[in-house]
Structure 1
Amino acid sequence: MHTLESLLGLLIHISVPAFAIASMLSMGLRTPLRSFRTQLRDRRTVLSLLGANFVVIPAVGTLIIWVLNGLLPLHIAEGFVIALCAAGAPFVLQLGAMARIPYSETAGPMAVLLLGSIVFMPLVVPFLLQDVQVDAGAVARLLLGTMLSPMIAGIVIAAVFPHLADVLARIAGGVAAVSAVLMFVSGFGSNTVLLLEVLLSPAMLAAAGLVALAFVAGRASGELAGHSLTVPDGPAILSSQRNIAAALLVARAAGDDSRQLVLAILLLSAVGFVMLVPYALATGVVRRKRAGERITPGVLLGIVGPKSD
């Protein structure tokens, strides 16, 4: 049993950076530079997204966790805080496709939030979690090396070799998907005792409440956004799914406390996944019916483009 847990612990140390690098490379390969230019020029949208994700969600979420002090295991609460500080999850591209949101309205904002996370997390996480040993400089280098660099590499490769971009993006996306599965299996499997304790605590309700908070804050930012966003619930989906890759990279830098922090982040991400996927599928069905599109499983899941009658 001890050998199995050690193996799972080793697996998560491999799967987390693999997931981060592969998912960001895939995103860069699929996102043209014009998406970033259009988004950055819309200052109202940028400010509303940054305000929701780096002011409202971390501040209100941390306040809720503080109010629940004593009801949640200490490191579970701290893991939630780390996740609340991490925005710009690559998985929102798939959720956006399910919900029939234009690609540019998820890819551009996601990249803006990722850049914000790289600046925000090294400064704020050590301040909020002073009892957790987190080196701000190490966190910044980690996020730059495993998230920003692969994204830039993907953009450059797509610009220089456009005929290879789609194939490489599919390969990188497949690696990211496999890494994500291994990440959840190893993260939960190496902490089975703690996982059972958490499942019997109010942590699940707290996680659901934090996801709902992020959704409401994102929806409000969508209503305040500028001309580049046409679907107001796009920012809601974008904000609700926190950047698990960035959060896990930061958690792993915490040393001895990392295992419990990782479990909390995976738990919050899993709860968000369970809540957001049905919403994205349901809204996607409604929008596709209004557009007169024939709905197939591939279209509904965002795997292939829409089929018109």
Structure 2
Amino acid sequence: MNEILAVTDKLALFTFIVFTMLGAGLGLTIQQIWEPLRNPRLVILSLLTNFVLVPLFVYLLLQVVHLSEPLRDGLLIMAVASGPPALPKLAHIVKGNIAFSVGLMMLLMLGTIFYMPIVLPLVVQGVQINSWEIAEPLLLMMVSPLLIGLFIKAKFAAIAPTLQPILFKISNAGLLLGLVIRLVIHTNDIIGLLKTGTIFVCAVFILFSFSIGYLLGGPGIDTQRVLGVGTAQRNFAAALLVGTSNFDDPSVVSIIMVTSILMMVIVLTAGPKFTVIEEGKVLEVEQTQLS
């Protein structure tokens, strides 16, 4: 039964990522993706947030909160893995800048390919990482469908609006199916981490990541939302690859999976509510100014 669930989970993940990227490509142009990245300040702050501030915070947090070595290693792996495959979907959910989400995802993903092999061995003992092993699945599942979508949009623009809603429905189905299956598979892990209090450390990790990303994600609210969720949701695909290939202790993979589930649940549940509250505050300010 567990084997069937594991295979279904992989298929759901593949469906979610591929159809999300394909649908994103159908709705954008290369110019639209590139335009937000022409802001040097935004690019520098995005890199600083994901590759310096979040890993440093998690490292310092784990010096204060003492966890077992496998749990500590798993959280550090998640901290240095950036560029979440789900970012365009999350940006859509929180009404963020979709073009910036795609550009940011590509920027962080490429950065992770070079960053992880250098930094992770400095904080986690016994890790050996091959950059190409991380890059290959990410390029196959994320970059390739994005390029196909961009090509269809450029050459067959008339069919793009018809295809895009269908692809996003398939993507949503993959996301929900994968989330449900992971909750089923890792229920015992979640209960165990609740008993030890580790899951609260994960929550602090996520809340800090979102907050620092949101605060540094200007110039607009739409880019703040994207950097917020893009920093809170780490690249679990890269983290899982490193965890499964370098560690025999199942606790390492468990903490990676549970943290990724918690990240997704928090963004899916709190993200839309936060957006509504935020828009309400903006409306109040505008009405005050007008009066």
* Conservation of the 8 A alpha-carbon contact between 1:61 and 1:213: no
Structure 1 Cα separation of the partners of residues 248 and 173 of structure 2: 27
* Conservation of the 8 A alpha-carbon contact between 1:115 and 1:148: no
- The residue that corresponds to 1:38 in the other structure is 35
SS of match in other structure, 2:112: helix
Unaligned runs of 5+ in 2: 285-291
TM-score (norm 2): 0.79
* Conservation of the 8 A alpha-carbon contact between 1:76 and 1:260: yes
Query: Which among 218, 229, 232 is matched to residue 237 of structure 1?
Result: 229
- The residue that corresponds to 1:158 in the other structure is 153
- The residue that corresponds to 1:307 in the other structure is none
Structure 1 position 87 matched with structure 2 position 82 = yes
- The residue that corresponds to 1:284 in the other structure is 276
- The residue that corresponds to 2:18 in the other structure is 21
- Using the TM superposition, give the Cα deviation of residue 208 of structure 1 relative to its aligned residue in structure 2, in angstroms: 0.8
* Conservation of the 8 A alpha-carbon contact between 2:85 and 2:142: no
TM-score (norm 1): 0.75
Aligned AA (1:47): I
Q: Which moved more, 1:210-219 or 1:10-19?
A: 10-19
- The residue that corresponds to 2:62 in the other structure is 65
- Using the TM superposition, give the Cα deviation of residue 172 of structure 1 relative to its aligned residue in structure 2, in angstroms: 3.5
Query: Which among 174, 195, 201 is matched to residue 206 of structure 1?
Result: 201
- Using the TM superposition, give the Cα deviation of residue 43 of structure 1 relative to its aligned residue in structure 2, in angstroms: 1.2
Structure 1 position 187 matched with structure 2 position 182 = yes
Q: 1:108 to 1:68 in 2, by over 3 A?
A: same
Aligned AA (1:266): M
- Using the TM superposition, give the Cα deviation of residue 271 of structure 1 relative to its aligned residue in structure 2, in angstroms: 2.5
Structure 1 Cα separation of the partners of residues 246 and 144 of structure 2: 22
Q: 1:45 to 1:176 in 2, by over 3 A?
A: same
- Using the TM superposition, give the Cα deviation of residue 51 of structure 1 relative to its aligned residue in structure 2, in angstroms: 0.7
* Conservation of the 8 A alpha-carbon contact between 1:241 and 1:273: yes
Structure 1 Cα separation of the partners of residues 251 and 32 of structure 2: 37
- Using the TM superposition, give the Cα deviation of residue 274 of structure 1 relative to its aligned residue in structure 2, in angstroms: 4.0
- Using the TM superposition, give the Cα deviation of residue 239 of structure 1 relative to its aligned residue in structure 2, in angstroms: 1.5
- Using the TM superposition, give the Cα deviation of residue 289 of structure 1 relative to its aligned residue in structure 2, in angstroms: 8.2
Q: 1:244 to 1:290 in 2, by over 3 A?
A: same
Count of equivalent residues: 282
- Using the TM superposition, give the Cα deviation of residue 141 of structure 1 relative to its aligned residue in structure 2, in angstroms: 2.0
Aligned AA (1:200): K
Once the two structures are aligned, what percentage of the paired residues are identical?
A: 27
SS of match in other structure, 2:158: helix
Structure 2 Cα separation of the partners of residues 111 and 99 of structure 1: 19
Q: Deviations over 1:111-130 (max 9, x none)?
A: 33233233333444455433
Q: 1:90 to 1:137 in 2, by over 3 A?
A: closer
Q: 1:153 to 1:115 in 2, by over 3 A?
A: farther
Structure 2 Cα separation of the partners of residues 203 and 50 of structure 1: 27
Q: Deviations over 1:206-255 (max 9, x none)?
A: 11100112123213422xx5x5x455632223312223344344444447
Query: Which among 43, 46, 50 is matched to residue 49 of structure 1?
Result: 46
Query: Which among 1, 4, 13 is matched to residue 7 of structure 1?
Result: 4
Across the aligned residues of Structure 1 and Structure 2, the Cα RMSD in angstroms comes to: 3.2
SS of match in other structure, 1:208: helix
Structure 1 Cα separation of the partners of residues 5 and 148 of structure 2: 30
More helix by share: 2
Unaligned runs of 5+ in 1: 293-309
Structure 1 position 271 matched with structure 2 position 262 = yes
Q: 1:179 to 1:128 in 2, by over 3 A?
A: farther
Q: 1:219 to 1:289 in 2, by over 3 A?
A: closer
Q: 1:131 to 1:219 in 2, by over 3 A?
A: same
* Conservation of the 8 A alpha-carbon contact between 1:16 and 1:249: no
- The residue that corresponds to 1:219 in the other structure is 214
* Conservation of the 8 A alpha-carbon contact between 2:88 and 2:98: yes
Q: 1:232 to 1:189 in 2, by over 3 A?
A: closer
SS of match in other structure, 1:282: helix
- The residue that corresponds to 2:287 in the other structure is none
Q: Which moved more, 1:86-95 or 1:45-54?
A: 86-95
Q: Deviations over 1:274-297 (max 9, x none)?
A: 4333244233355268569xxxxx
* Conservation of the 8 A alpha-carbon contact between 2:78 and 2:234: yes
